[in-house]
Amino acid sequence: MSTYFISDIHGCYKEFKILLEKSSFDYKTDYLWVAGDSVSRGPDSLKVLRYLYSLSLKNRVQMVLGNHDLNLIAVHAGIKKNKEENYFDEILSSHDSDKLINWLRSQNLIKVDKNRKIIMSHAGISPQWDIPTAEIYAFQIKKFLSHSNYALFLESMYDNTVNFWDLHLNQLDKLRYSMNSLTRMRYCYPDGRLNMFYKQSPNLVKYPLQPWFVMQHNISKDYSVFFGHWSTLKSIDIPKPFISLDSGCCWGEELTLFRWEDKKVFFQKSLLK
């Protein structure tokens, strides 16, 4: 029995299945942890969703939501416009779209395994947070997304101005900050404020902006923190305990799979042209 970690599949179903075969993933005995953004940008998001849903029925997958997964939910709810680069049309017109979207809505924004000392979220974990704080607010977002009035809640979450954690924030702003940090964060300022705009490689961005993972954290180094979301980190030295999984398959680069037990990493080159 092995546990595998992957992120940012982005509809690259062919590469995804080849990678599972390369690593000898067995859905009968193994577990797959997916750090968000399973859909969008690649051509086969529907196939990816259906496969992950089938694993969920066997209790073989742990997922967290990424910003593109949330975008799919928002488009399906009619609160955001669909765009050609999303490749959502096949999902939205499928006979099982409601079932798949409702399943996505039931997923969390963070997974924590305290026994094996593992944390997984899409963008990472805020330098201003400890693990209990991250879990509390991720669970609250999950609760609202699972509610029948989820569209109204999700529409209120799109706000770039809430970029600093403060216990005196009102409840809605606490959830906005939580959504931003868990699904969209890349850079921080020295005081911990999030920058919601820069996406380039850290090689191209100068101080005072700093990658969130080089900031001082409240997370014990006994933990391994898996994240995706940032495809331009390939040549960047990422300090322990952080492990980047996004290697830009949808941009013509690679898809990455990490096996927990022996720390072996598998790669599959993008087949997109």
Reported pTM: 0.96
- What's the mean pLDDT in 32-58? 97
pLDDT tens per residue across span 70-115: 999 999 999 999 999 999 999 999 999 999 999 999 999 999 999 9
Number of domains in the chain: 1
pLDDT tens per residue across span 9-30: 999 999 999 999 999 999 999 9
Give the tokens for residue 114: 């305290």
**Confidence band (pLDDT; 50, 70, 90) for 221?**
confident
Q: Quote the pLDDT of residue 32.
A: 98
pLDDT tens per residue across span 150-189: 999 999 999 999 999 999 999 999 999 999 999 999 999 9
Q: Quote the pLDDT of residue 66.
A: 98
State what percent of residues in the chain have pLDDT above 70: 100
Q: Quote the pLDDT of residue 178.
A: 98
Q: Quote the pLDDT of residue 135.
A: 97
Going by their DSSP bridges, the two strands 31-34 and 61-63 should be labelled as parallel
Q: Quote the pLDDT of residue 234.
A: 83
Which range of residues forms the domain containing residue 143? 3-269
CATH code for the domain in which residue 198 is found: 3.60.21.10
pLDDT tens per residue across span 226-249: 999 999 998 899 998 999 999 999
Question: What value does the mean pLDDT of the chain take?
Answer: 96
Residue 220 pLDDT > 90: no
Residue 273 pLDDT > 80: no
Give the tokens for residue 52: 């992950």
